[in-house]
Chain A
Amino acid sequence: LLSKKYSSCSTIFIDDSTVSQPNLKSTIKCVTLAIYYHIKNRDSDRSLDIFDEKKHPLSRDLVPDDYFRTDPEHKLIYRFVRTLFSAAQLTAECAIVTLVYLERLLTYAEIDICPCNWKRIVLGAILLASKVWDDQAVWNVDYCQILKDITVEDMNEMERHFLELLQFNINVPASVYAKYYFD
């Protein structure tokens, strides 16, 4: 599904920061494409209040009328993730872990990623992935600088729910990482 565009040269990826830029970009492309298909191919609309944008809006701006009914375009998901990644200076590695956590959440919590919850689920997964996997840990409050209208209390609460739903299983075995990396 995603592998076609992806050549894997780990030495470039790790060692050279200029070369790693396009790689981060293509990783985010692949990861967001996977999210896009998760939303598109879902069977139902099971959700949880903590991830619901209607109950916990991420912005004070009004959303379009059909926002909660229409599946987001890949471009929209990509822009949302890219904004967070460049503002928080996250790595391609972190993007892959984000996808692992997101899919794990859907399985463990028995919910579907859908128009009303995708942004908060993606944000929660990025928040956790960046905290656990990046050496320069991003604090929850840092996301309030990026998304101006959210509160740190909201981020803390979402993180707490996320961790509990994942049962604190933040482990990503090398084999799983490699599988996601190459798929």
Chain B
Amino acid sequence: GEVCSPTLVSFMCCKFQRIDVSKQMSLPMDIRLPPEILKKLQMQSPEPCKPLSRMSRRASLSDIGFGKLETYVKLGKLGEGTYATVFKGRSKLTENLVALKEIRLEHEEGAPCTAIREVSLLKNLKHANIVTLHDIIHTDRCLTLVFEYLDSDLKQYLDNCRNIMSMSNVKVFMFQLLRGLAGELKLADFGLARAKSVPTKTYSNEVVTLWYRPPDVLLGSTEYSTPIDMWGVGCILYEMATGRPLFPGSTVKEELHLIFRLMGTPTEETCPGITANEEFRSYLFPQYRAQALINHVPRLDTEGIDLLTTLLLYDTRKRISAEASLRHAYFLSLGEDIHSIPDTASVFSLKDIQLQKDPGHRSSFDCFFPNSGRGKNRRQSVF
């Protein structure tokens, strides 16, 4: 059951926002109810404040169209794997774009445990920086998860600004990523931490890239722990600041080689226990000395370099945590208020937090933010 490890929750579901989202409600605010339902709801509610029981609430959600396949129009395939197929779609209720993840159900297996755990996890996560699960449709042949549609990832974003992001935007995106991860740490309380191995496949069964993996995992550690994610965060900070991936290895050996060449070959001092690691010893890497990161990320300020350094520590006990990094000096310039916004609110609910135009940004604003002109309350994201 490795598919629903928290690592995936963090990296696949963390999202960045460019446009403010108002407080989340259980029903989308821009929902368009069919007139017959509206009529029914009005007729049925002589006491509008009376709380609905679980069953009747569910029945009325179903009347509206939740949990029904016909509520969503499939627009095109986004990706396919052996476990699931993801389609772009549109909700007839809100006219919003959605991502429909269809999980095929094996007759003999029933609902896959990974899918059940995934739904349970995602239903419990309500955070502005974690992708929202809107609806679930469960039929005898397939389980369809309806997610909000995110139309751009980090790579596309960087392509769009020709790999030159404004450093102030890098900071805002980093903060959002760490917020998503810090929120995710609460998962530990859920008692759902059954799948604790490091995933090697994505939800759609693609092999996970090696680029964001820490050396301890590359050297055979399979235990999932939160510092694993923090290494990847460091890689992403570098990638946003420089426009290119930090350690783009294509094999485990090459990946480790790239890491050691920049960060220095690990020693008992920088990485306790490493000299006893058989796998590490078998590679016989040369003794590289650590290089100064500032020479590689000149656009990052001193605090940023310090954060990057603590994210890329070999010793997992010394690697900075998501919570601690939110309090890092690098983010001081975002102000104190950013620490008191509720989980479900976007960082852009603060008027001081705004994105700058990226220096390398392609020709016009509109081709970059295609929907911004319409003033719709639609979310967009990088991840």
Contacts and interface: CB of A to CB of B under 8 A. Distances in A.
Chains A and B bind each other: yes
21 contacts: A131-B111, A132-B113, A139-B109, A140-B109, A141-B108, A156-B110, A156-B111, A157-B140, A159-B110, A160-B138, A163-B116, A163-B138, A167-B58, A168-B116, A169-B123, A170-B120, A170-B192, A171-B120, A172-B192, A175-B191, A177-B191
Given A108-B54, A109-B55, A140-B109, A133 B194 contact: yes
Interface string B98-122: 0000000101111101001101100
Nearest to A159: B110
B190 A173 contact: yes
Given A110-B53, A156-B107, A132 B191 contact: no
A131 B55 contact: no
B110 A155 contact: yes
B93 interface: no
Contacts of B194: 132-133
A164 interface: yes
A173 to B, nearest CB: 4
A176 interface: yes
Given A163-B138, A168-B120, A173 B189 contact: yes
Nearest to B195: A135
A155 B140 CA distance: 11
B333 interface: no
Nearest to A167: B123
B191 A110 contact: no
B360 interface: no
A170 B116 contact: yes
A20 B244 CA distance: 54
A19 B36 CA distance: 63
Contacts of B105: 156
Contacts of B54: 108, 110
- Interface size on B, as a range, is 20 to 34
B21 interface: no
Contacts of B138: 160, 163-164
A137 interface: yes
A108 B189 CA distance: 22
Give the 4 A-B residue pairs with the shortest CB-CB distance, closest first: A140-B110, A141-B108, A168-B119, A173-B191
Interface string A171-183: 1111111000000
Given A110-B55, A168-B116, 4 more contacts: A127-B110, A156-B111, A160-B138, A170-B116
Chain A binding surface, main DSSP class: helix
Contacts of B189: 173-174
A58 interface: no
A152 interface: yes
B382 interface: no
B55 A139 contact: no
Given A152-B108, A156-B107, A131 B120 contact: no
B117 A170 contact: yes
A132 to B, nearest CB: 5
Contacts of B58: 167
B136 interface: yes
A18 to B, nearest CB: 25
Contacts of B192: 170-172
Nearest to A140: B110
Contacts of A177: 191
A34 B54 CA distance: 24
Contact of A131 (B108, B116, B140): B116
Interface string B12-39: 0000000000000000000000000000
